[in-house]
Amino acid sequence: MTTLRFSALDTWFFRESRPMEALGGAELASVFPPPPRTLLGAVRSAIGDAQGVDWRVFARDASDPLRALIGFGDDLGPLSLAGPWLSHAGERLYHIPGLLLRKGDELIRLRVGGAVRTGMGKILLPELPQGAQGYKPLDNCWVTGGGLERILQGGVPDPDEIRAARDLFQEEPRLGIALDHRLRTTLEGLLYQTRHLRPCADLAVEIEIGLADGTTAPAGLVRLGGEGRMAHVETVATPDPPEAPAADAKTSGLTLALLTPLHAGTGLDGWLPPGFLPHTENNTLTWRGEIANIPLTIHSAILGKAQREGGWDMASHRPRPMQSLIPAGGVYYVTTNTDLARAIETLHGTRIGEEADKALGRGQLACGLWRNNEQ
């Protein structure tokens, strides 16, 4: 796969899931990193423009040869994507797993506590170690590859391996008004407010993308996100992924951390990886299933607020159906009756979800250790 790095020339705007007309007097925020379809759309447009495509002909001609290179609509053709990731000063960052909490410069890991009776039944819930107080989640924080490896090994990263949002970009409120392009005038009463992002000078967004044979990766200036803001794209070396940990006698199970958001489905079981079903064990509710043919039992989970994603379907000229995603940083605590070393090798770096979601880079896992002292 080819790694592409997008750098901002000014500000970026990647609209949240709410439509403009639903806002009233509220401000429309920007999501970051951008959704994979947004980045994939920029790549598709750049490849087509480089070949001098007539996009109107492309949209109505199913036999257009460009479709064999970039697909059409939801059909990605030969394209596949991993990421997106943030890159700070040339170093790749990963969304920090939710099992970490912070108080000042001190970091602590959550543990899995005793069974608690809830509306779902009797389940195991994450909790602070005994006597720990005043710790808070690391919202909107990322960690370096080395820091992530420490977390996967059952430890905590160094404080200087963590990057908060305020260290990476600033938010800028904007006020705009809708335009009548035919008359080149403004439209009365259609004011809107948006919040753009201004990345720091050494922040970029990276994706790893699989292209059709013979296709040249885009380079130079491309339009990216809302308002067609400009970005510079270049091909860079693909960094080594975080190393998988090695299990030892102090390992009771595994943690599966989401490096990219997961589309797990809808309904009450929409927080579970696909294929997992409830199972009562020792009067406690667990969930059993398989990932990559490795049998697993989920005992507990730490999942953030659902990430809503919609967007505009350029091929059909209509809004995309809204989806609820489990955000990056979510963690599942699992056990397996398979050899732990084999399970770690198989699960580390794999993707879960439907095939279409995997092609968009969703559901990528990092496998960590669940230590005996964390239960």
Q: Is residue 321 part of a domain?
A: yes
* CB-CB contact of 10 with 175 (8 Å): no
Residue 30 pLDDT: 87
210: number of Cβ within 10 Å: 14
Q: Are residues 369 and 335 in the same domain?
A: yes
* CB-CB contact of 328 with 83 (8 Å): no
Q: Which of 276, 223, 247 is nearest to 344 (CA)?
A: 247
Cα–Cα distance between 258 and 94 in angstroms, integer? Answer: 10
SS3 139: coil
Residue 187 pLDDT: 80
Q: Are residues 39 and 120 in the same domain?
A: no
Q: Are residues 48 and 63 in the same domain?
A: yes
Residue 346 pLDDT: 96
Amino acid type, 108: I
Q: Is residue 159 part of a domain?
A: no
Strand partners, 307: 325
Strand partners, 235: 4
What are the residues whose beta carbons fall under 8 Å from the beta carbon of 4, sequence distance 6 or more?
43, 206, 207, 208, 209, 217, 218, 233, 234, 235, 236
Question: Where is 121: in which H helix or E strand?
Answer: strand 121-127
Question: Where is 147: in which H helix or E strand?
Answer: helix 145-152
Q: Are residues 192 and 70 in the same domain?
A: yes
What are the residues whose beta carbons fall under 8 Å from the beta carbon of 67, sequence distance 6 or more?
58, 77
Amino acid type, 95: H
Q: Is residue 290 part of a domain?
A: yes
SS3 320: coil
What are the residues whose beta carbons fall under 8 Å from the beta carbon of 351, sequence distance 6 or more?
357, 358, 361, 362, 363, 364, 365
Q: Are residues 111 and 251 in the same domain?
A: yes
Which pLDDT tens digit goes with each residue over 220-238?
A: 999 998 888 899 999 999 9
Q: Are residues 273 and 347 in the same domain?
A: yes
Q: Are residues 298 and 359 in the same domain?
A: yes
What are the residues whose beta carbons fall under 8 Å from the beta carbon of 62, sequence distance 6 or more?
72
Q: Which residues of the chain are modeled with pLDDT < 50? A: none
Residue 194 pLDDT: 85
Residue 223 pLDDT: 92
Q: Is residue 280 part of a domain?
A: yes
* Domain count for the chain: 2
Q: Is residue 217 part of a domain?
A: yes
Residue 232 pLDDT: 96
Domain boundary among 201, 236, 271: 236
Q: Which of 16, 79, 10, 74 is nearest to 46 (CA)?
A: 79
Q: Which two tokens stand for residue 37?
A: 């379809």
Q: Which two tokens stand for residue 210?
A: 């699989």
Residue 39 pLDDT: 94
Q: Is residue 16 part of a domain?
A: yes
Which pLDDT tens digit goes with each residue over 87-146?
A: 999 999 999 999 999 998 899 999 999 889 988 889 999 999 888 889 999 999 999 999
Cα–Cα distance between 373 and 248 in angstroms, integer? Answer: 13
- Integer Rg of the chain from CA: 22
Amino acid type, 271: W
Residue 268 pLDDT: 62
Share in percent of the chain as helix, strand, coil (round to 5): 15, 45, 40
- Give the CATH number of the domain where residue 308 resides: 2.60.40.4350
Q: Are residues 88 and 179 in the same domain?
A: yes
Q: How many residues does the chain have?
A: 375
Residue 119 pLDDT: 85
Q: Are residues 360 and 268 in the same domain?
A: yes
Q: Is residue 146 part of a domain?
A: no
Cis omega (within 30 of 0) for bond into 327: no
At residue 356, what are phi and psi to the nearest 5 degrees? -65, -35
Q: 225 lies in which domain range?
A: 2-92+166-236
Domain boundary among 196, 219, 236: 236
* CB-CB contact of 361 with 352 (8 Å): no
Q: Are residues 265 and 368 in the same domain?
A: yes
Domain boundary among 216, 236, 256: 236
Q: Are residues 71 and 104 in the same domain?
A: no
Q: Is residue 7 part of a domain?
A: yes
Burial class (CB in 10 A: 0-12, 13-18, 19+), 280: exposed
Establish how many alpha carbons lie within 13 A of residue 220's alpha carbon, considering only the half-sphere containing its beta carbon: 7
Q: Are residues 334 and 219 in the same domain?
A: no
